[in-house]
Structure formats: structure tokens, C-alpha cells
Structure 1
Amino acid sequence: MGKPERPDIAPPSVWRNPWHFVAFGFGSGAIRPAPGTWGTLAGLAFVPLLQALPAWGYLAAIVLGALFGCWLCGKVSRDLGVHDHGGIVWDEIVGIWIACWLAPPGWPWLLAGFVLFRVLDILKPWPIRWVDRHVHGGTGIMLDDLLAGVGAWALLQLGARWLG
């Protein structure tokens, strides 16, 4: 597939190619505006299921999701001919999983994890910005969001200890 004429919109392959569909967050990355936010919401929908697992099981899902994501995001990016197409949101999905790992129960904590993750993903403070600019391929697409997830996780854990 050649370069899309409009890399700001979802290509038709999202609805035909299963790898593209997954990378686009099961279609959530095709929603405009703010596909990253929609992708994060799609990922957040899985968090209650992940929280039902033991902590090690949830962590295993994160690790597997991240490793799979490095391959998936790289493949779909190459297929589309666009590095880190805005609609590729698998990275946001795994990022929010990280942010909410070991979060206290209840929707306020999930909301806090969501907000913290989106703020860090959008603002990209150091070292997230450096990784975003210097690490390429599927690993680069994933790594900045994984770091945003870790930062959001740390802040959420600090908040839980401070408020708890």
C-alpha cells in the first residue's frame, strides 16, 4: 500500500485488515478529533478486566501488550507509509494499562489515571519527548507512551499513598 493522501485520517484498510484494526484500537483511532484520547478510552475499557487478574497477571498482560505493540505498530506504520500515524493507538492502550496497574479500586482512580496519562502523553516532558524524537520504528511508537504510562502510574501511586 502506498502513502495515504491524507495521513490525518484513517485509511480504509483499518476496516479490512485485522492488524490495522487492532493497531487503530479496534477502530477508536479512526475517531476525530483526538484519536489518542479515544484510543486511551478504548484501553481503559479493558482495565477492569485486567484488575480482576492477580497483579502478576496484569503485569504479564502489559509486557505482552508492549512487546506485541512494538511489532504491530512498526508493521502498520510501514504498511501505511507513515511513521506513527495519528490513528495508531495501540501504544495509548498499553500506556493506560500501565497507568492503572495497582490503582486503588473505583472509577475516580481510573479517571485520575486517564487524566495523568493523557497529560503526560500530550505534553511529553523529558525523557518522553527525547524518546519520541529519537527512537524510531515500532519501538519508538510504543516507548514514549510506555514512559507516559509509567509516569502516570508513579503519580497515581503517590496520590493514592498521600490520600490513603
Structure 2
Amino acid sequence: MRVADLPGRPCSLAAALQLVGERWALLAVREVALGNHRFSDIARGTGAPRDRLSARLTALVAAGVLERRPYATAPPRSGYHLTAAGRDLVPVLQALLLWGERWAADRPAVRLHHETAGHGDHPVDGTWTCRTCGEPLAGARPTLTPAGRTLLGLPPEEDPR
């Protein structure tokens, strides 16, 4: 997608939302990430109208977020699976889930947790990690590129800290 072709302020966020910013799209990705690969299971998990869900799944396949894989030959049937792009959306879904728990839901129905042997159950928060070396940023602030400063409305020389 050409960022320059998007309306308003052109940026990668606008391009991402153009692909997955519709409610049923992200909920469909959530269901596939949770292991629901069949259309009927995705429909049940999202509560989406079947025609809208079908359109969203088709768009997500076309965008390379999901792929279809056959699971039956008679009759021919395919399930939906995450691609590398879809797997990269999982931390985004986790971040939205955590934000929703804090700011949108009166009583969260889903909680992310990490169970450790002998140490019980721990809540999970998302973290920023370096894409190259995998190290967590651990409180360090990422550096903004000139495009990032423009997106935030900051002049190039101003330090946002």
C-alpha cells in the first residue's frame, strides 16, 4: 500500500489501519490466533455477520495477513491460518486487550497470564523489544525518526522527552 495515497496524514499507522482497522478484521485475527481455523468457529467467536466476516477474511487473505489451507477434499474445505504478517499482529492484539482491560471493559473476560512451576500465576504485560537483537527496551525510550516526529507534530530538532 502506498502511504502517500492515503487520506489525511500519511503514515504507517494509517496504512495498517486501512488493512486491519475494521472491528471484524482484528477479531477474526484473534480467533485464528486462538486456534479457530474454520469459518464457523471464527464466526461464532467473533459474533460477526457471516457476510461481513466473509468479506473481512477475503481481505485479510488478499493482504497477506491470513492464508487458506485445505483441510478436507470432499467437499473441498479450507481453514484460515496466520502468516508471518498475521503472527506479527498478535502483540498488537495483546496490547489492545490490555488497554481494553484497563480503560474499556467493566470486567475483563479474558486475561493473559504466565503460569510458572511453583510460583503461581503471573499477569502478562506487553513490552517493546528490539527487532534486531530481541532485547527488551526496559524503560528506555525508542528514538523517533524524522517521520515519527512529524507524525507527533514535533519539529525535527525538538526532543519529546
User: Please, what TM-score do these two structures have when normalized by structure 1?
Assistant: 0.23
More contact order relative to length (CA 8 Å, sep ≥ 6):
1
Greater helix fraction, Structure 1 or Structure 2: 1
Superposition TM-score, scaled by structure 2 size: 0.23
